[in-house]
Amino acid sequence: MTTTSNQRNNQRSSQGQRPNRPGMQRPRRRFFARKKICRFCANSDLKINYKNPDILRIYLSERGKIVPRRISGNCAKHQREVTRAIKRARNLALLPYVVSD
Ligand SMILES: [Zn+2]
C-alpha cells in the first residue's frame, strides 16, 4: 500500500515539466526602459482634439489600434483624453477603425 503510493508520487514528480531551465533565467529587464514623458504634460501647447487627427495618429498602431499607456508613455489623464478623441475622430472618419492590408 505504502510502496504503491510512494511510486506514484515519484512518477508524478519526475513527470512534472519545468519550462524554465536554469540557463534561461534573466533577472534583467526585458527591454531598455527609456524614460517616458507624457507629451501633453511636457508641452502645454499641444491640445488633444478630435479635429486634429495628425496628433492622434501618433497614438495609433499601424493596424489602427490605440497604443497603450505603457508604450505611449502618456499619463492616465491624457491617455484617457487621447482615447476619447481617437474614438470621436474614428466616428467622423478622420481616423481608421482598422487598417487592413
Ligand atoms: Zn499628461
Q: From the CA of 73, how far away is ligand 1's center (Å)?
A: 9
Question: Does residue 67 sit within a domain?
Answer: yes
| Among the listed residues 74, 66, 71, the one whose alpha carbon sits nearest the alpha carbon of residue 97 | 66
Confidence tier at 91 by pLDDT (50, 70, 90): very high
Question: Does residue 63 sit within a domain?
Answer: yes
Question: Does residue 77 sit within a domain?
Answer: yes
Question: Does residue 66 sit within a domain?
Answer: yes
CATH code (residue 50): 4.10.640.10
Cβ–Cβ under 8 Å, residues 80 and 38: no
pLDDT by residue (tens digit) across 30-66? 666 677 789 999 999 999 999 999 999 999 999 999 9
- Identity at 4, one-letter amino acid code: T
- The whole domain housing 82 covers 41-101
Question: Does residue 83 sit within a domain?
Answer: yes
Q: From the CA of 49, how far away is ligand 1's center (Å)?
A: 14
Question: Does residue 49 sit within a domain?
Answer: yes
* pLDDT above 90 as % of the chain: 60
Question: Does residue 82 sit within a domain?
Answer: yes
Q: From the CA of 65, how far away is ligand 1's center (Å)?
A: 20
Tally of domains within the chain: 1
Q: From the CA of 90, how far away is ligand 1's center (Å)?
A: 22
Q: Is pLDDT at 3 greater than 90 in this prediction?
A: no
